[in-house]
Amino acid sequence: MALSPFGLRPERWAALLLLAVLAGCSQTPPRQAGIPTPRTAPPAGGWFALPSHDHAQEVVLYALGLLDTGYRFGGKNPEAGLDCSGMVSYIVEQVSGRKLPYNAAGIAERTRPVATQALRPGDLVFFNTLGRAYSHMGIYMGDGKFIHAPSSRGKVRVDRLDSRYFSERFEGARTLLPDG
């Protein structure tokens, strides 16, 4: 029987590979004592914001252009594959020239909270998909839909906030829009 490069039998290697793929979209570290939850008051230097409201529409359009892009844990560009936070960071940098952190919790920490009923296209939505807050995120498109890079089915896609899976795991929303 041939062994994997790590000396594992094929069935154990396949199980480990499957576990890694199913682990979910996130580079988000688990919350630990001393690590703050996303702020409701601006961080030093203020909230991250796009230069204008027009940029939010560009974020949505850019995201739509990435539909069916392959998923890759830790992925930060479409050629190599994207995970959820890598997709958001990549899009924001392409649209605005400014960088966001490459993890969902870091992005939530730097962006201004927005009420769910006040969501606008281009806002960010966050979920607890791995038993820890802010472990998954996407970009709100309007009409209750968001685009994200989930590990399940492995491609950037559109889902609904009111779907049973995502509505039960919804953590909150943040905006990239400037105040006003």
**Sequence ranges of the domains in the chain:** 44-175
Based on the residue annotation, tell me whether 84 is a catalytic residue of this protein: yes
Note the helical H segments in 65-143: 84-96, 104-110
Classify domain 44-175 by CATH architecture. Alpha-Beta Complex (3.90)
H or E segment to which residue 170 belongs: strand 170-175
pTM: 0.78
> Where does the pLDDT of residue 42 fall: very low under 50, low under 70, confident under 90, or very high at 90 and above?
confident
Question: Region 48-68: what's the mean pLDDT?
Answer: 93
Based on the residue annotation, tell me whether 25 is a catalytic residue of this protein: no
Give the pLDDT confidence score for residue 2 in this predicted structure.
Answer: 53
Q: With a cut of 50, say whether residue 6 has pLDDT above it.
A: no
- pLDDT tens figures, 94-118: 999 999 998 999 999 999 999 999 9
- pLDDT tens figures, 19-35: 333 344 444 334 443 33
> Where does the pLDDT of residue 37 fall: very low under 50, low under 70, confident under 90, or very high at 90 and above?
low
Give the pLDDT confidence score for residue 39 in this predicted structure.
Answer: 61
Q: In what order do the strands lie in the sheet with 112-114?
A: 112-114, 170-175, 124-127, 136-142, 145-148, 157-160
Based on the residue annotation, tell me whether 136 is a catalytic residue of this protein: yes
